[in-house]
Amino acid sequence: MRPVWSGSLSLGLVTVPVRLYSAVEDHTVHFRQFQRGTEDRIRYRRVNERTGKEVGYDDIVKGYELDNGEYVVVEPEELDEIAPGRSKSLDIESFVELDAVDPMFFDKTYWLAPAKEEFERPYALLLEAMRSSGRAGIAKFVMRGREYLALVRSGDGVMVLNTLHFAADLRDPAEQLPDLPGKAKSRGKELDMAVNLIDAMSYDWRPEEYRDTYTDRVRKLIKAKKKGETITPATEPGEPTKVVDLFEALSKSVESGKAKKDKDLSSLSKADLEKLARERDIKGRSKMTRAGLEKALKAS
């Protein structure tokens, strides 16, 4: 795997050369574009609008448009020069509790690994220190001509770097959305039932249980069309719930959620049931049979 960025991680006077690797793989089905009714590919080219001729990457520079319609042209080297050190430096400026960072700020996920074997010791020290403290470092660095705010944290044997949105990048919902439910009031019984629904649908986070089903259906569609077959359309979304039916809809949803949770418990091994009982601090769990564990978990 090739690194997307190379530089140095700095914490106080400790500097560790590191490399940044993408931790996410794209599984989206990618299509080419064709003119309808033909096998003619549609291609995008970088064309000089005056001459109509294609231009190579090396001959392209960036230009910023001024108010009078003129442009200021900027070379890539000039952008690097105004950020001395930043292009190759990842400076941790402070540490925060990971739970204190609102998920709205998270953007992309990367791995941060030592550049060479000789730097593994200071890297491992910082990794263990962050794991022990339960805190994550806030840093800034420049990559591909853009400055990023980043969060560096301890992962499973490797540092994880999440790029973050700057506060100025996040929109204010009160300014952007005209129909926020500020005047709508929730009724006591409906609120209690909604909380019960959340409880009934609450599980331990198991990311491996979730997959991109839309991409699966796209692949099935491609195979079906290749064979000249058809595929069953997906189910249409349900009708909006009427306000007068809200409590009844919540009640039925709670029962459905409890039934699903009970069914899921029966599919777990006894070891998994014991682990779940330990997490919920169920008393006497060590002496319970499988049936007893299921019953205690359903009641918890």
The token pair at 146 is 């853009």
- pLDDT computed for residue 272 by the predictor: 77
Query: How far apart (Å, rounded) are the C-alpha atoms in residues 205 and 260?
Result: 16
Position 243, amino acid: V
Assign 3-class secondary structure to 1-30.
CCCCEEEEEEECCEEEEEEEEECCCCCCCC
The residues, any chain, with a CB within 8 Å of residue 11's CB and separated by 6 or more, are 92, 126, 137
Cα 99–143–171 angle (5° rounding)?
Answer: 50
- pLDDT computed for residue 278 by the predictor: 79
For the chain, the first-to-last Cα distance in angstroms comes to 46
Report which of 92, 90, 89, 78 is spatially closest to residue 145, judged by C-alpha positions.
78
The residues, any chain, with a CB within 8 Å of residue 51's CB and separated by 6 or more, are none
The token pair at 49 is 């609008």
Task: Please list the pLDDT of the chain residue by residue as tens digits (300 residues).
Answer: 899 999 899 888 888 999 999 999 888 888 899 999 998 999 888 999 899 999 998 888 889 898 888 899 888 777 777 765 556 889 899 999 988 999 999 999 999 999 988 889 999 999 999 999 999 999 999 888 788 999 999 999 999 999 999 999 998 888 887 777 666 677 777 777 777 777 776 777 777 777 777 788 788 888 887 888 877 776 666 555 554 466 677 677 767 666 566 556 777 777 777 877 877 778 888 778 888 887 777 776
The residues, any chain, with a CB within 8 Å of residue 204's CB and separated by 6 or more, are 276, 279
